[in-house]
Amino acid sequence: MYSRRLNDILNFCFCLIAVSFLFIYPQSCIEAAKDGVTTALYIVLPSIFPFMVLSKFIIARNLHYLASKIIGKPFEFLFGVNRKYAVVFVLGCIGGYPIGAIAINELLKKDEITVKDAEFLLGFCNNSGPMFIIGTVGTLMLNNTSYGYILYIIHILSVILGGIIMRIILRPSIKTCALNTYKNNLSVSNSVTSSASAMINIASYIIIFSVIAKFVTVFLDAKSFRALLVLSALEVTTGIKYTSLSSINEILKISLISSALGFSGLCVFSQSKAVFENVKFSFSKYIFSKLIIAIISFVTTAITFTIIFSY
């Protein structure tokens, strides 16, 4: 009862602060919302929408079993879960946030995965994609496409290592739900329609967190190290943009960006949570996994670029 009352008080205080900010800084809020729309429309939509449609169609038509035959054995060996989940890892690594979460939810809808295994997989199968890391981060923000490729390789290696560490901690089982041979009659057009609806939710979260990030820049110097950490923890694209423009040490800058990619931020957490709104799903394992991946990404990137810059 006490914790619930405290939660209500905190929510009320947050809403009060948010409303006050909207009245005091209306122009800043409008600009932040516009930035959120730009991010959603020109960065997120082109990079993840095609993969969202593809993931829904593949799993609905049972095509994910083909992936299990190709990479299923190494996937099962590394992570200790059934090989038929391999497609989730692949889609999560090439599609970007929150494609991995959407693919896992599609398996849950078909009763082909337990909630326990879904919680475990989400931590290392919901990742940033190559189009965002290489194109947006590397080429546009860091002005170096080669950095983008290096960051993407580090991201995937960190995800794999993070998944192995979580396997040791959680000890998942390779047992799985019964094979569901039923093929959903979901067509490409239906996949597009349902994906478009999901994109609206994702875009809404991006806009909201862009405005929240603007709150931070009012109270903290956007160029300060503390602000960069907070912004990256809130919304990954905004955090990386501010970090790339900062004047901090180049190795530290790239390492922070890599860490932000691994952690994903509260905006992605909210997007992923919305995907599982009808499932009793614990996100504590997901957050813990992302913290581990963020630490691995930071350390690996710092070592890698220290070596690169030494030549």
DSSP 3-state of 179: coil
> pLDDT tens digits for 201-225?
888 888 888 888 888 888 888 888 9
> pLDDT tens digits for 112-126?
888 888 999 999 999
Kindly report which listed range (6-10, 40-44, 70-74) carries the lowest average pLDDT score: 6-10
pLDDT at 196: 80
The neighbour count for residue 76, using CB atoms within 10 Å, is 17
Q: How far apart are CA 275 and CA 201, in angstroms?
A: 9
Tell whether the model's pLDDT for residue 98 goes beyond 70: yes
Q: Does any domain span residue 60?
A: yes
pLDDT at 7: 57
Q: Which helix (H) or strand (E) holds 88?
A: helix 86-95
Cis amide leading into 46 (omega within 30): no
Q: Does any domain span residue 20?
A: no
Q: Does any domain span residue 208?
A: yes
**The dihedral sign for the CA sequence 280, 285, 288, 293:** negative
Kindly report which listed range (50-59, 89-98, 130-139) carries the lowest average pLDDT score: 50-59
- Report the domain count for the chain: 1
Q: Does any domain span residue 43?
A: no
> pLDDT tens digits for 262-274?
999 999 998 888 8
Q: Does any domain span residue 210?
A: yes
Both tokens assigned to 198: 């999901």
Higher pLDDT, 48 or 254: 254
Helix axis angle for 188-219 and 26-38, nearest 10°, is 140
Q: Does any domain span residue 16?
A: no
Both tokens assigned to 215: 């709150």
The mean of the pLDDT values for the chain is 83
The CA distances from residue 31 to 22, 75, 187, 237, in Å, are 12, 44, 39, 16
Show the domain range for 258: 49-175+187-309
Q: How far apart are CA 10 and CA 234, in angstroms?
A: 18
The neighbour count for residue 214, using CB atoms within 10 Å, is 22
Q: Does any domain span residue 37?
A: no
Q: How many CA atoms lie within 13 A of 302 on its CB side?
A: 10
Q: Does any domain span residue 7?
A: no
Confirm if 216 and 230 have CB atoms less than 8 A apart. Answer: yes
